């Protein structure tokens, strides 16, 4: 037992000179990090190395805030890749605005509860304004609504659960198993949702272009009939940024009773730019959509906007009932907890709200347009270069390309060297069995020259 410290149970919570110092320490660090312009890319360390450098950090007595923060700053943080670095071009990067990042601290500082109107009406009001803004962008009716969930995976699952409930409420049932129809290039989280729900996925080949069409989907609907409770159209595939032909898929709703879910986790933000907006025609017919602000809407992790055309179908599917919750669920007020698979929730839409409210939508349109332009420009450069091959023309801001003659091993060694030398984080990928690599571009600080310099290393 540490006999030097006061033993009162409130010592971690009381406002004392020590806690003031601790808060200053953490806020000072946060301020430096948010405003830093030269945070290196950094890279992962093996566990034995972290053990050697950080040692055992958790103990009965504690190491004190100063030391703990030093361990974070000098050992742990450098072992985390800087995902908002302009040369982070892998997977789907993140690039939160300074406003959104700074306000993330406020969400914690205010201990806001985002689950119910009763407890968090102000926060819920602001989040709902953002959801309404997005719904209007996507052409959904003014009555559309939903909730910010942790990520696209949970958003897709929650939407698909609501879709199946809707089919059941409609009196439909499969003769064998429930089916989700989607593109063979749909995100892995759709298959993951199907596993959780114990339903089947029928993947439909989108053909050479990667764009799933209604024509390709129709035979699956004819074959599986009433068992198909949902069709998932992808609004910007993760690997290529390809947008399915949502309008032709939506048109099938005239003949078949499926729920149309649009997975726009990465790409739907593209609708904010007039350059990409036409590609998403038909999304206004969706029964549910998702888009991740932590991707191309410049918010920090972790936030996915899940929006239902008819929010009531989401509420019916997801509201939890318990004696201690009756006071919430009996109320007619809008409680975000009721619209997805979760209960306690951080008001995770607020960092995005603050940034959007501060800067205005036009700034977002410009930022999305800039990514689209840069993707097009570097794609043209790749096409022009000897020894390089563009795998597909980019529709959004992902550029996939090959270096002639390179094997999987070549890409892997090159990628590791780039990270090792702290030049860039560009990982190997593949398509139809052929190795390639890709630039996922959404950080407004990424420049054409940065990308050309990376090509020059190949
Ligand atoms: C990223 C992504 C997801 C998964 O979203 P998470 O936030 O990572 O859970 C789903 N679908 C698409 C198209 C994505 O790009």
* Interval 242-246 mean pLDDT: 98
**77-110 b/e with 16+ CB inside 10 Å = b?**
ebbeebbbbbbbbbbbbbbbbebbbbbbbebeee
Q: Is 296 in the pocket of ligand 1 (CB under 6 A)?
A: no
CA neighbours closer than 13 Å in the CB half-sphere of residue 119: 19
Q: Is 266 in the pocket of ligand 1 (CB under 6 A)?
A: yes
Check residue 4 and give its pLDDT. Answer: 54
Query: What sign for the dihedral angle of Cα 103, 105, 111, 115?
Result: positive
Mutate which of 92, 266, 442 to test ligand 1's pocket (most atoms within 8 Å of Cβ)? 266
Closest-CA residue, ligand 1 atom 6, reads: 152
Closest-CA residue, ligand 1 atom 14, reads: 265
C-alpha distances (whole Å) from 251 to each of 93, 214, 258 are 33, 7, 11
Q: Is 443 in the pocket of ligand 1 (CB under 6 A)?
A: no
Cβ-contact 247, 277 below 8 angstroms: no
Q: Is 150 in the pocket of ligand 1 (CB under 6 A)?
A: no
Mutate which of 263, 295, 340, 438 to test ligand 1's pocket (most atoms within 8 Å of Cβ)? 263
Cβ-contact 435, 402 below 8 angstroms: yes
Cβ-contact 423, 457 below 8 angstroms: yes
Residue 77: band (very low, low, confident or very high) from pLDDT cuts 50, 70, 90: very high
Residue 119: band (very low, low, confident or very high) from pLDDT cuts 50, 70, 90: very high
Quick one: which atom of ligand 1 is closest to the CA of 238? 15
pTM: 0.97
Closest-CA residue, ligand 1 atom 3, reads: 152
List for the chain the helix, strand, coil content (%; round to 5). 45, 15, 40
Closest-CA residue, ligand 1 atom 5, reads: 152
Q: Measuring CA to CA, which residue among 195, 192, 214, 196 is closest to residue 204? A: 214
Task: For residue 189, report the distance from its CA to the centre of ligand 1, in Å.
Answer: 7
The 10s digit of each residue's pLDDT in 10-43 is 889 999 999 999 999 999 999 999 999 999 999 9
3-state class (DSSP) for residue 294:
coil
Check residue 184 and give its pLDDT. Answer: 97
Q: Is 151 in the pocket of ligand 1 (CB under 6 A)?
A: yes
Check residue 134 and give its pLDDT. Answer: 98
Residue 7: band (very low, low, confident or very high) from pLDDT cuts 50, 70, 90: low
Distance (Å, whole) CA 362 – CA 368: 10
Check residue 255 and give its pLDDT. Answer: 97
Task: For residue 200, report the distance from its CA to the centre of ligand 1, in Å.
Answer: 20
* Interval 90-96 mean pLDDT: 97
Check residue 1 and give its pLDDT. Answer: 44
Residue 9: band (very low, low, confident or very high) from pLDDT cuts 50, 70, 90: confident
Task: For residue 131, report the distance from its CA to the centre of ligand 1, in Å.
Answer: 18
Q: Measuring CA to CA, which residue among 441, 294, 276, 306 is closest to residue 355? A: 294
Residue 326: band (very low, low, confident or very high) from pLDDT cuts 50, 70, 90: confident
Quick one: which atom of ligand 1 is closest to the CA of 235? 13
> Does the pLDDT at position 390 exceed 90?
yes
Angle (CA) 399 367 349, round 5°: 105
Check residue 5 and give its pLDDT. Answer: 55
Q: Is 26 exposed, middle or buried (0-12, 13-18, 19+ CB in 10 A)?
A: middle
CA neighbours closer than 13 Å in the CB half-sphere of residue 426: 30
> Does the pLDDT at position 101 exceed 80?
yes
Quick one: which atom of ligand 1 is closest to the CA of 302? 7
Quick one: which atom of ligand 1 is closest to the CA of 264? 13
The 10s digit of each residue's pLDDT in 267-284 is 999 999 999 999 999 999
> Does the pLDDT at position 3 exceed 60?
no
The 10s digit of each residue's pLDDT in 35-65 is 999 999 999 999 999 999 999 999 999 999 9
């Amino acid at each position: 037992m540490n006999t030097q410290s006061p033993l009162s149970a409130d010592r971690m919570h009381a406002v004392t000179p020590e806690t003031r110092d601790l808060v200053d320490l953490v806020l000072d660090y946060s301020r430096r990090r948010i405003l830093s312009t030269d945070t290196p890319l950094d890279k992962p360390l093996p566990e034995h190395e972290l053990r050697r450098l950080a040692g055992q950090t958790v103990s009965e007595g504690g190491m004190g805030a100063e030391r703990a923060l030093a361990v974070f700053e000098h050992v742990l943080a450098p072992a985390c890749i800087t995902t908002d670095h302009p040369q982070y071009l892998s997977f789907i990067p993140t690039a939160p605005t300074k406003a959104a990042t700074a306000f993330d601290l406020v969400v914690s500082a205010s201990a806001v509860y985002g689950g119910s109107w009763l407890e968090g009406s102000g926060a819920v009001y602001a989040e709902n304004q953002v959801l309404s803004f997005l719904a209007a962008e996507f052409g959904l009716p003014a009555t559309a609504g939903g909730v910010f969930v942790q990520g696209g995976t949970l958003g897709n699952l929650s939407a698909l659960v609501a879709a199946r409930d809707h089919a059941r409420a409609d009196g439909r049932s499969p003769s064998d198993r429930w089916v989700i129809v989607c593109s063979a290039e749909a995100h892995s989280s759709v298959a993951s949702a199907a596993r959780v729900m114990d339903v089947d996925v029928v993947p439909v080949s989108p053909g050479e272009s990667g764009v799933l069409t209604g024509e390709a989907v129709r035979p699956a609907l004819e074959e599986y009939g009433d068992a198909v409770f949902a069709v998932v159209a992808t609004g910007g595939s993760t690997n290529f940024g390809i947008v399915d032909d949502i309008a032709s898929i939506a048109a099938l709703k005239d003949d078949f009773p499926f729920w149309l879910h649009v997975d726009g986790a990465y790409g739907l933000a593209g609708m904010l730019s007039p350059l990409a907006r036409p590609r998403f025609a038909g999304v206004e017919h969706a029964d549910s959509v998702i888009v991740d602000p932590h991707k191309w809407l410049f918010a920090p992790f972790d936030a996915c906007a899940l929006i239902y055309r008819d929010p009531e179908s989401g509420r019916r599917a997801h509201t939890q009932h318990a004696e201690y919750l009756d006071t919430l669920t009996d109320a007619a007020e809008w409680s975000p907890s009721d619209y997805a698979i979760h209960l306690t929730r951080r008001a995770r839409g607020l960092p995005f709200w603050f940034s959007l409210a501060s800067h205005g939508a036009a700034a977002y349109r410009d930022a999305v347009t800039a990514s689209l332009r840069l993707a097009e420009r570097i794609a043209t450069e790749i096409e022009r270069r000897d020894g390089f091959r563009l795998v597909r023309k980019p529709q959004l801001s992902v550029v996939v390309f090959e270096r002639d003659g390179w094997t999987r091993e070549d890409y892997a060694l090159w990628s590791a060297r780039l990270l090792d030398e702290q030049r860039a984080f560009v990982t190997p990928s593949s398509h139809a069995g052929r190795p390639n690599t890709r630039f996922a571009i959404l950080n407004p600080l990424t420049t054409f020259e940065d990308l050309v310099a990376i090509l020059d290393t190949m």
